């Protein structure tokens, strides 16, 4: 298992990292986050859990994923974010708020 983690990255002790994961400068990985194999996070990515990022996903700088949904239908219920394999997020300032309620 080859991990490439920048020394400035902050990774929660309960986060799970797959094989060949790269985490760039100033990334923050929260509790209950799963990064599957071959995930690449460029600098300044923030991921909060519960979130699962599938194999071969690349997320570019300044993306924020898994934070609280801003939709008014959510009233504090537990929600999860799942991103499938082979996904590329490359827009700057990407905020993912689409979540599903935990079952």
Give the range of the structural domain holding residue 32, as residue numbers without chain letter: 4-84
Residue 93 lies in a domain: no
| Contact predicate 71/89, CB 8 Å | no
Give the predicted TM-score (pTM) of the model.
0.75
Per-residue pLDDT of the chain (103 residues; tens, 9 = 90+): 689 999 999 999 999 999 999 999 999 999 999 999 999 999 999 999 888 898 888 888 888 887 766 655 666 666 666 666 555 555 544 444 344 444 4
- Helices and strands (H and E) in the chain: how many: 0, 15
The total domain count for the chain is 1
Q: According to the model, what pLDDT value does residue 82 have?
A: 65
Check residue 59 and report its DSSP letter: E
Residue 69: give its domain's CATH number.
2.160.10.10
CA pair distance 72, 82, nearest whole angstrom: 20
Residue 22 lies in a domain: yes
């Amino acid at each position: 298992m080859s991990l490439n983690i920048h020394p400035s990255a902050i990774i929660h002790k309960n986060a799970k990292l797959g094989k060949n994961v790269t985490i760039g400068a100033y990334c923050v990985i929260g509790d209950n986050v799963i990064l599957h194999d071959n995930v690449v996070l460029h600098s300044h990515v923030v991921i909060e859990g519960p979130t699962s990022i599938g194999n071969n996903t690349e997320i570019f700088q300044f993306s924020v994923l898994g934070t609280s949904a801003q939709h008014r239908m959510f009233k504090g219920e537990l929600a999860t974010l799942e991103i499938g394999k082979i996904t590329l997020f490359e827009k700057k300032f990407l905020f993912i708020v689409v979540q599903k309620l935990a079952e």
